[in-house]
Structure 1
């Protein structure tokens, strides 16, 4: 169980890091390969991932199975908090990046192929700052405070974009704060799902969690684009801030994680 929660934390961190790396390299690749080239590269990487899973990743050992009704997973209050959270996090992420690249072009006066000069330091700087925060939170059994504080930071970032999107310097600072909150939440939530799910329902719980994550990505792109076109860029950040506030209220009621469990992650 100890290794399972560590592995899930690594999965979450790798997802956040892959998104961050894509932001750094996408503008450069777009300038060199164009949009068609980027999609071709994605297809090649997908085929490589299939090959790794098929021929390199060892088969999971057979374990005694116990049937757990899916409705029991869906109605679990602790898992519901995390499922709602991952939906909101990725909705805000994609909706925000419907607006941010254009804002960097217009207000920070940075050509598209130069955006990596912003993303690289803010992404990896926030990742470096994130690590000691999570380690300290785990060692001191204060992951709930770290978790809730990161949601609060996410909400404040959305309000910040609403107020100061046209200030290029503040925009870059807000990007750093966003990635700090995003990386902490992305790394910690899969681990929390693994801890809080009933032993016989961990697979189902992670399946539901990943489904809500994908739905959040899809809804963020669709809603972000629609709201920008029909209501304005500010509405995207107001909507994301309100969703983050709801998540904050819900997450504040989550139980404290026992110290022994927190230290093992």
Structure 2
């Protein structure tokens, strides 16, 4: 990478990291603490966990299309302001309904597609996979730090304080975006209709849209079930659950460089992706048999290892496959599927939890991941465009 690319990648990774940290800090504790809100039920708690995904899903495509027309940075700033407002609403919530509204507003700051498109604009095709992987790793690191500090901060500050801290992170991210990130060359904007048509008609993108939906639906379901599993089955208080989540994330990151090397440098992309899908599915089903902290740590590490590789790899595939003038629209479609999956997994996980318990949620999530193996091979791994 040249100096401009390093600045762009480092700055955008930090902006994305701050936003996702603010979003993820409550994931490991929300299901455990949400019972304290007035009128909370398992279904509404699941909705609070995943509703940000619904508003993200609805707005990712408009944000991506808008970024193609009016510029990436203005769209990203607007989205961060909306996220900040949602964090403050959630911080002041006294009932489960207002908590859901705040989480929905957090999701309405739907900047993922615009950030990915800006990164693609600022990097050459020869380094774009590495750049996207770094952005994906920043999400993994946000998970890691959030799972380490979320339970501790919640025990200290309460959910209100954690949401206020997320608002501070959003403000800092806006400042960094305006001060650090290079401005890309302006392209002739595509029309809204042509951008959407290109994103929908490109059949090579369809398995990627479906795959990211599945990945994030399973992830939201995990965070509905696992905090409750740790509390009820292993007797672990919510404030102590970081002692399982944090080591699992640390261990899961260790094989990531090797897996990326095998996928991107040795030409084994399809095999590595299929392996990671299978690993994550097996890990979730295996959690139903957990009776000790050590076995839970192993299962979570296996799951997050698969998740992290898939999260890091797929945006790069989309950016390479999409037509350059409609990249924002394609990444908007991708992010729409991603966050619609997060909403579906949270809402369905809460409903399954109320009828079939923790094991039902984990089995359903594992089966959903396994279904990805049926259509993932249709992705044209070796023939993606590099423009």
The TM-score normalised by the length of structure 2 is 0.63
CA deviation after TM superposition for structure 1 residue 100, in Å: 0.7
Note the 1:9-48 alignment, pairs <5 A.
Answer: 9-48=133-172
Kindly provide the CA deviation profile for residues 126-176 of structure 1, in whole angstroms up to 9, marking residues without a partner as x: 1012111211322211011101111111111222123x1444432221101
Alignment equivalent of 1:220, drawn from 329, 345, 349: 345
Conserved 8 A contact 2:213-2:341: yes
Q: Which residue of 1 aligns with 2:311?
A: 186
CA distances 1:70-129 after superposition (whole Å, capped 9, x unpaired): 133123222111111111111111111111112122333332222222122211111012
Matched, 1:139 2:265: yes
- Tell me how far 1:237 sits from its aligned partner: 1.8
The reply to whether residue 250 of structure 1 matches residue 375 of structure 2 is: yes
Residues 39 and 256 (structure 1), Cα distance of their counterparts in 2 relative to 1, 3 Å cut: closer
Relative to structure 1, is the Cα distance of residues 254 and 207 closer, same or farther in structure 2, using a 3 angstrom cutoff? same
**Cα separation, 1, equivalents of 2:384 and 2:315:** 18
**Equivalent residues of 2:214, 2:341 under 8 A apart:** yes
Say yes or no: does 1:197 pair with 2:327.
no
Residues 1:170 and 1:76: Cα distance change in structure 2 (over 3 Å): same
Structure 1 position 230, deviation (Å) = 2.7
Contact 1:9 1:188 in 2 (8 A): yes
Distance in 2, matches of 1:166 and 1:99, equals: 15
| Count of aligned positions | 260
Q: Distance in 2 between matches of 1:160 and 1:111?
A: 22
Provide the residue aligned with 2:218 in structure 1.
92
Distance (Å, rounded) in 2 between the aligned partners of 1:165 and 1:50 = 42
Over 3 Å counting, the alpha-carbon distance change for 1:258 and 1:76 in structure 2 is: closer
Q: Take 1:140 and 1:209, find their aligned partners in 2: how far apart are those partners?
A: 26
Superposition deviation, residue 180 in structure 1: 0.3
Mapping 1:50-61, distance limit 5 Å: 50-61=174-185
* Structure 1 match to 2:198: 72
Secondary structure at the aligned position of 1:231 is classed as: helix
Is residue 216–residue 345 contact of structure 2 (8 Å, CA) maintained in 1? yes
Indicate which of 279, 291, 295 corresponds to 1:153: 279
- Unmatched tracts of structure 2, length 5 or more: 1-124
165-174 vs 201-210, greater mean Cα deviation? 165-174
The residue number in structure 1 matching 2:132 is 8
Q: Is the 8 A contact 2:255 2:305 kept in 1?
A: yes
Please tell me whether the aligned partners of residues 320 and 385 of structure 2 are also in contact (alpha carbons under 8 angstroms).
Answer: no
Is residue 133–residue 312 contact of structure 2 (8 Å, CA) maintained in 1?
yes
Task: Measure, in 1, the Cα distance between the counterparts of 2:235 and 2:259.
Answer: 33
Unmatched tracts of structure 1, length 5 or more: none
